[in-house]
Structure 1
Amino acid sequence: MMTTLGSASASPGEFDTGRLEVGETRDGSTVGLPVAVLNGAADGKTLYVQAVSDGDELNGLGVINRLVPQLDPEEVAGQILFVGIVNYHAFQVAEHRNPIDDTKMNRAYPGDANGTSSERIAAATFEAAKRADLVVDLHQGRTSRMINETRVRCGPRHRLHRECLELAKVFGTGYVLDQKGPDGQLARAAPDNGIPTIDPELGGAVGWDEESIQIGLDGMFRVLRYYGFLDGEVERDLQTRASGFDQYGSPSGGLVTFEVDLGDPVSRGDTLFRVTDAFGELKARVTADNDGIFWRSRRLPQVATGEYVCSVGTDIDEF
């Protein structure tokens, strides 16, 4: 049976690339997202994978870029649908949000085929995602410094929570944020349509980071093997899960020096960072409110009063 996505079309045992039309640019040129379909030689499940929902988050594109050449359709069971670059307009100008409508794409799902630029892109990609049995939406922590984690965003009371958590464990970055996400995220909209979905946040980088890309690539191969797209056994290691998130801003302007590194355990009262003036004089010291893991931090040292500095994952367990 033929598998299509946009202009990409593949018979069993074949692979093809094409474009998924989502509107026009300001000069009337067609906007087509780069898409690919891999139609396995044997029957199986359908997996939907997308990247660059946020235009400056490129590690997911790096994963797809490395993954696809290693897949032989003759050795795959089922279908894999890829959208390599979702936020077309933001990607072109290396920005986070879609500059056409100043929208964060991963707040626009399930989208609107007659709506804004972002809503139309979300609607088109969501139609593709709804065809799948599993969804992997590849992200990163923007340009911040962040551990490699996988996010389960449907919320612990959702009927698909267990299946989403299972998918996260299989992906296996080592860390999972299990917390209900904001409205408009694909990782919330797809489970509402009965599709287990995860949102791997592959570190944080300017450009892309090879270590995080490799972690994402390893995760994709684990998913493909565990769910039967490829032959092979998968061992699911224990994951460290955070169910909460404490975020810290700076109490004063100045220069930040961190006292802990990404992934370090922290205890309530431990110093997270200091703020000094240009001449090294201490202005503020910020401590952890709760026990947890140092999860994410800003990349640049300079901060204004109230500006975001770092995050600590809390309510930690292993599963």
Structure 2
Amino acid sequence: MTNPTVVTSESQGRARLAPRRNSVFSAVDLDRPGKQIGTFSVPQSPHDDAWGAVQVPLAVIKNGEGPTILIEAGNHGDEYEGPIALGELLREIDPSEVSGRIIAIPAINIRAVEAGTRTSPVDGLNFNRTFPGDFNGTLTEQIAAYVNDCLFPVSDYFLDLHSGGSSLMILPSAIIEPSPTPEGHRRNIAATLAFGAPTVVMVDNLGETRTSTAAANLQGLVVIGSEMAGGGLVSPEALEICRRGIRNVLKHAGILKGEPEIVPEANARVLTVPGAKAYVVSDEDGVFEPVSPLGAMVKAGDVAGRIHFLRQPAREPVTLTHPIDGIVFAKRQPGRVRPGNCCFVLAVDYPEALADGI
């Protein structure tokens, strides 16, 4: 894998990447005023299409002067609220409403979106663990490289729309991505609070650097994430939060006029996932019975759930307990578990965020 070259752009005020050599092409002009909804194409040569390409939906809405926001959905193909809400925005918004530029990719992991799976059926990869990507790699790695090298460098804000997918149920939340700099962290918190979700959670994915949000942070963008319910379902309540949240971030950035619409329940809980100790993981192969409901306040030692062994009726179930005091932020959706499967994620209060984000 080759790494991008960093170049400095004085006009943008931060280091920018020079795109690595690649064969991705598109009829969408990032600099053309107005609304364009098309695709970018990643050449591929599978058995049934020797000189074909995978087309990924791409939209640009540009008008006047102002910042650029990149909005991405469909990072995982079984997460639906983000793609629905982003598609609605693209159909509804008039370029005259915009000051700056919106770059939108509503189904970035296109083959996974088509299949309704977390990972791509083409190469088995999780798009959100492939950054900074590789133009000489598989399809998923090439798409990540295009975002990393060609879209992040021309963007000021990055909004990454997620849900829990088929395997998790998550409290509908706006997600703070920890920044490597104090000023970047403050800006991320302020933008995430502007999203206006009822719950705000700082999640660092145990220090993972291969996610799209971590990669955007490294390039100095203001980064906002979301987790809208899950279970492989479409939650009407979470979808409404997502619709409002997208427009709130656009207003916060100054791309749309007006102030963010902050409803009374917004930012009611500001939390953080405090590292590996917050995860309840199965050590067994069996069937998971959750005991703690989503959003419940729990104490260390409380029963979290049980793992049952259906082929061994004489065997007692194994009891899982919560390792710390906290709030149940996420819980596993499927009953079947294997060793290593995540059953619960806990979060704790993060009062510093409110001070840092003001």
Smaller-chain TM-score bracket: 0.7 to 0.9
Q: For 2:197, what is the secondary structure of its paired residue?
A: coil
Instruction: Establish whether residue 214 from structure 1 lines up as the match of residue 240 from structure 2.
Output: yes
Q: For 1:130, what is the secondary structure of its paired residue?
A: helix
Which amino acid counterpart does residue 241 of structure 1 have in structure 2?
A: L
Shift of 1:253: 5.0
Aligned counterpart, 2:126: 104
Q: Deviations over 1:57-94 (max 9, x none)?
A: 22211121222223121122111001121112222322
Q: Structure 2 vs 1, CA of residues 249 and 16 (structure 1 numbering), >3 Å: closer, same or farther? A: same
Aligned counterpart, 2:19: none
Q: Deviations over 1:196-233 (max 9, x none)?
A: 11221212132533322211111111111222122222
Identity %: 26
Instruction: Establish whether residue 39 from structure 1 lines up as the match of residue 62 from structure 2.
Output: yes
Q: Structure 2 vs 1, CA of residues 297 and 25 (structure 1 numbering), >3 Å: closer, same or farther? A: farther
Which amino acid counterpart does residue 281 of structure 2 have in structure 1?
A: G
Verify the 8 A CA contact 2:75 2:109 in the aligned structure 1. Answer: yes
Aligned counterpart, 1:303: 337
Instruction: Establish whether residue 65 from structure 1 lines up as the match of residue 65 from structure 2.
Output: no
Shift of 1:152: 2.8
Verify the 8 A CA contact 2:163 2:226 in the aligned structure 1. Answer: yes
Which amino acid counterpart does residue 92 of structure 2 have in structure 1?
A: Q
Which amino acid counterpart does residue 262 of structure 1 have in structure 2?
A: L
Kindly report the root-mean-square deviation, in angstroms, between the aligned alpha carbons of the 2 structures.
2.6
Aligned counterpart, 1:142: 165
Gapped regions of structure 1 (runs ≥ 5): none
Q: Structure 2 vs 1, CA of residues 123 and 270 (structure 1 numbering), >3 Å: closer, same or farther? A: same
Q: Deviations over 1:234-272 (max 9, x none)?
A: 366544121415222345555433332211211222222
Aligned counterpart, 1:269: 301
Aligned counterpart, 2:155: 132
Aligned partners of 1:172 and 1:282: how far apart in 2?
45
Q: Deviations over 1:273-293 (max 9, x none)?
A: 234555799623322111111
Question: Which residue, out of 292, 297, 316, partners 1:260?
Answer: 292
| Residue pairs, 1:178-189, within 5 angstroms | 178-181=202-205, 182-189=208-215
Aligned partners of 2:202 and 2:214: how far apart in 1?
12
Q: For 2:66, what is the secondary structure of its paired residue?
A: strand
Q: Higher strand fraction: Structure 1 or Structure 2?
A: 1
Shift of 1:147: 1.0
Q: Structure 2 vs 1, CA of residues 280 and 145 (structure 1 numbering), >3 Å: closer, same or farther? A: farther
Aligned counterpart, 1:313: 347
Which amino acid counterpart does residue 129 of structure 2 have in structure 1?
A: R
Question: Which residue, out of 274, 286, 289, partners 2:320?
Answer: 286
Instruction: Establish whether residue 82 from structure 1 lines up as the match of residue 108 from structure 2.
Output: no
| Residue pairs, 1:126-205, within 5 angstroms | 126=148, 127-143=150-166, 144-155=168-179, 160-181=184-205, 182-205=208-231
Aligned partners of 1:243 and 1:134: how far apart in 2?
23
Q: Structure 2 vs 1, CA of residues 36 and 287 (structure 1 numbering), >3 Å: closer, same or farther? A: same
Q: Structure 2 vs 1, CA of residues 24 and 156 (structure 1 numbering), >3 Å: closer, same or farther? A: closer
